[in-house]
Copies of this chain bind each other. A is one copy, B any other.
Amino acid sequence: MKSYRKVLEFNLPKRRQFVNITPEVDKALRESGIQEGLLLCNAMNITASVFINDDESGLHHDFEVWLEKLAPEKPHSQYKHNGFEDNADAHLKRTIMGREVVVAITQGQLDFGPWEQIFYGEFDGKRRKRVLVKIIGE
């Protein structure tokens, strides 16, 4: 069994932002040389998400509006977590969007349907954040 590990780094200018990281994950897969296996990609920070969906800007706008409806940022005082922090909503939004994805590796490729793309979802940006890629297989 082979394994491969890579950390992606982010420091995004906005509080909330989606970044298509499929090319970086695909690069990690090629570096690993793994042909058959499973790939885990997860946020290492608990106010961020890794998820799979469509790379379509209208949909990303809909996600932003929807997450603000389900878990609004303001007023910050509505959350007990916001004593010394102001990011309780980011913990909730990341819960909706998910911490991680697991992707099948087949014949050296991300085994995806036609529209599947991997996104980093930032909900408390303007600081250094990390994503882990771990691949096992052979």
Interface residues, chain A, with chain B CB atoms under 8 Å away: 1, 3, 5, 36-38, 40, 42-46, 51-54, 56-59, 61-63, 66, 70-71, 79-83, 88, 91-92, 95-104, 106, 111-116, 130, 132, 134, 136-138
Q: Is the CB–CB distance between A59 and B81 below 8 Å?
A: yes
Question: Can you sample 28 A-B contacts with CB below 8 Å?
Answer: A1-B1, A1-B36, A5-B111, A38-B134, A40-B102, A40-B104, A42-B102, A43-B113, A44-B113, A45-B113, A46-B54, A46-B115, A46-B116, A51-B95, A51-B99, A58-B81, A58-B82, A61-B81, A62-B79, A62-B80, A62-B81, A62-B88, A99-B101, A100-B101, A100-B102, A111-B134, A113-B130, A113-B132
Q: Least Cβ distance of A88 to chain B in Å?
A: 5
**Interface SS majority for chain A:** mixed
B44 close to A58 (CB less than 8 A): no
Which residue of B has the minimal Cβ distance to A53?
B46
In the assembly, how many copies of this chain are there?
A: 3
Known: A62-B88, A66-B71, A113-B130. 17 other contacts (CB 8 A): A1-B138, A5-B111, A37-B136, A40-B104, A43-B113, A46-B52, A46-B53, A46-B116, A58-B88, A59-B81, A59-B88, A62-B80, A96-B96, A98-B99, A102-B102, A111-B132, A111-B134
